[in-house]
Structure 1
Amino acid sequence: MIDLRRLQVLRVLAARGTVTAAAASLHLTPSAVSQQIRLLARELDVELLSHEGRRVRLTPAAEALLAHADDLHARWEETRAALAAFKDGEGGALRVCGVSSAIAALVAPAAGALHDQGVELRIAEEETKDCFDALLTGEADIAVVLPTPDVPPADDPRFEPSFLLDDRLDLLVRRGHPLARRRRIGLAEAAGESWVVKARDNDTYAVLLAACAAAGFTPRVGHQVKEWYAVSATVAAGLGVCLLPRMVPIPAAHPVRRLTLAGEPRPSRRISAYVRRGSAGHPVVARGLAALRAVSG
């Protein structure tokens, strides 16, 4: 017999790279993580870790085990989903994590419909990479995220995506800006502007880089600001421009203008909901996905 909880510890260790990082994700001590791996190795009668100084490396046996571990966990998620259908009532807890704009525009509006179905919604704001860590460790059931380099490939055996919407990006400038007289503008025309965006721990920065690269330039970041209200205020003060997602409203107090971007490709963010592979059939998870799709239109 194999303990799936110990196998999960190995999966998280492989994803995070170090015992310390895995322990942080699992809310365990590093010694507890090491112990779980040792017990799993004893169960299987193989060595799973090799020690190189203070670091550990997965052995070939561990890599072979992981090749089957994702499928085992997907089957377990399917089993849990099937068993959940036999429980009395429709309610249950649903944990959803996501980036701030998606929470405001999609997750929060879906709360009413879920509440009417007896679903207790628990929301956590996280950056995309942290959302996938939360899915893997079981701290979240659905992650609503953007396309960034941290998004796993479409064929990743651990996760299953569900498309929600394409969120167009607009150029935000102050009202007195020379470009503000235009109704539509090509992104390349703003190549010489100073950009307002936080470059660290911010999914929006990767989206900006991709959009500007497609337009043929690299943006010059003048002010490191992340929260959308603060970004809009900075633009309103004439300190730069930014790409503003269509789903993010403009504060009424800020003297700014939203300009539609013309040309192809038109910059956008593809918003998707991810779940652990095999869990989409769970009644509560299925209701959460359905509510998000309904809000997305």
Structure 2
Amino acid sequence: MLDIRRLHMLRTVAARGSIAAAAQSLALSAGAVSQQLSALRHDVGADLLRPDGRTVALTEAGRVLLEHADRILAAVQEAESAVAAVKGTVGTTAALAALPSTVATIVAPALTTLGSHHPQLTVTCLATDQAQLRELTLGTVDVVLGQRYHHLPDAVPRGIAISPLLDDPLLVVTAAEQADERPVVLRELATHSLAVPPPTTDCGQAILHACHQVGFTPTTRYITADIAAQLALARAGLATALVPRTAIDPATPGIRTALIEDRPILRLLFAATRHTETANPTTTAVVAALRTAARQARATHLPAV
């Protein structure tokens, strides 16, 4: 009989690209993972992995087994959710992956709410911009607070359920003495020096795409994904920043914010979980707390677009 833990290891190695990377994410030694995969190979009677440069790739037998492993592991997840639903109680642990720009205004209030309503629940939080939905499919986290910019295609992996939270516009941020609070026409930014995220990020791509759509390539004098650094550069009068609304404390001194009037750049913030036919009480509680915090952020932060 196939061992579920070994199937999970095979899936993790296939996603991470190497035994060492998989071992790190599983908090195991590379030797332990190799040993378990060797046992799985013996159970199946066929090679499952082959060298591929500095990484490993699935053999044909490995690919076929992984297709079945995905269904088996999904069935296990479904069973766990069904049992949890019968018990009807929120569990004791959950893992959340969230964008760093959402921690202050959404994640922290949500965790405070969860602590009040479900004191037995301990939520660990991974603040990262990278590959959050992959971590969800691999079971590393239970809930993702992610984003999708509206100009990008909606590419949700199979087996993932999405709950929209709010539309979060990028605001034009300048030094307080350099601008008024009137809305800005995007084309006006053609004359500004900008502080923006790298073009390899979703936000950086969204800004470039929006500017190109209205006929100009932005002057990016400062490139950083650190929102605190972007705001500091704007406060000093060195650049204009484009920052998500929920990532800005309305009480921040020395800056002025304005909406983009004609071509708003919007990101959709969403909560994602692994899809199951029966709702899991623990992940449902986490998503509900995120939704409440997002609703409060929409109401109290800055006027909506």
Q: TM-score, normalised by structure 2?
A: 0.83
Amino acid at match of 2:253: H
Q: In the TM superposition, what is the alpha-carbon distance from 1:183 to its structure 2 partner?
A: 0.7
Aligned to 1:185, the other structure's residue is in SS state coil
| Residues 1:53 and 1:101: Cα distance change in structure 2 (over 3 Å) | closer
Report the equivalent of 1:13: 13
Q: Of 273, 276, 295, which aligns to 1:275?
A: 273
Of stretches 271-280 and 55-64 in structure 1, the one that deviates more from structure 2 is 271-280
Report the equivalent of 1:146: 147
Aligned to 2:260, the other structure's residue is in SS state strand
Residues 195, 241 of structure 1: 8 Å contact kept? yes
Q: How does 1:97-176 map to 2 (within 5 A)?
A: 97-115=97-115, 116-147=117-148, 153-154=155-156, 156-176=157-177
Counterpart Cα distance in 1 of 2:185 and 2:47: 57
Q: In the TM superposition, what is the alpha-carbon distance from 1:6 to its structure 2 partner?
A: 1.2
| Residues 1:258 and 1:27: Cα distance change in structure 2 (over 3 Å) | same
Report the equivalent of 2:2: 2
Counterpart Cα distance in 1 of 2:152 and 2:20: 20
Amino acid at match of 1:73: L
| Residues 1:183 and 1:292: Cα distance change in structure 2 (over 3 Å) | same
Amino acid at match of 1:284: T
Q: In the TM superposition, what is the alpha-carbon distance from 1:113 to its structure 2 partner?
A: 3.0
Q: Deviations over 1:162-197 (max 9, x none)?
A: 2111111111112343xx246112222212422213
Residues 198, 226 of structure 1: 8 Å contact kept? yes
How many residues in Structure 1 have an aligned counterpart in Structure 2? Answer: 293
Aligned to 1:184, the other structure's residue is in SS state coil
Counterpart Cα distance in 1 of 2:170 and 2:122: 29
Counterpart Cα distance in 2 of 1:73 and 1:192: 54
Amino acid at match of 2:195: V
Residues 160, 274 of structure 1: 8 Å contact kept? yes
Aligned to 1:191, the other structure's residue is in SS state helix
Of stretches 93-102 and 232-241 in structure 1, the one that deviates more from structure 2 is 93-102
Q: In the TM superposition, what is the alpha-carbon distance from 1:248 to its structure 2 partner?
A: 2.3
Counterpart Cα distance in 1 of 2:229 and 2:89: 44
Report the equivalent of 1:259: 258
Amino acid at match of 2:158: P
Counterpart Cα distance in 1 of 2:76 and 2:235: 52
Aligned to 1:72, the other structure's residue is in SS state helix
Report the equivalent of 1:46: 46
Aligned to 1:223, the other structure's residue is in SS state strand
Q: In the TM superposition, what is the alpha-carbon distance from 1:13 to its structure 2 partner?
A: 1.7
Report the equivalent of 1:187: 186
Unaligned regions of 5+ residues in structure 1, if any? none
Unaligned regions of 5+ residues in structure 2, if any? 296-305
Counterpart Cα distance in 2 of 1:201 and 1:280: 37
Amino acid at match of 2:244: P
Amino acid at match of 2:155: P
Q: Deviations over 1:72-100 (max 9, x none)?
A: 22221110011123448544222212012
Aligned to 2:247, the other structure's residue is in SS state coil
Counterpart Cα distance in 1 of 2:43 and 2:187: 59
How much is the aligned-residue C-alpha RMSD, in angstroms? 2.9
Counterpart Cα distance in 1 of 2:129 and 2:231: 22
Q: In the TM superposition, what is the alpha-carbon distance from 1:127 to its structure 2 partner?
A: 2.1
Of stretches 31-40 and 195-204 in structure 1, the one that deviates more from structure 2 is 195-204
| Residues 1:287 and 1:55: Cα distance change in structure 2 (over 3 Å) | closer
Counterpart Cα distance in 2 of 1:217 and 1:288: 42
Report the equivalent of 1:243: 242
Counterpart Cα distance in 1 of 2:68 and 2:91: 33
Q: In the TM superposition, what is the alpha-carbon distance from 1:119 to its structure 2 partner?
A: 4.8
Amino acid at match of 2:119: G
Residues 12, 136 of structure 1: 8 Å contact kept? no
Of stretches 197-206 and 79-88 in structure 1, the one that deviates more from structure 2 is 197-206
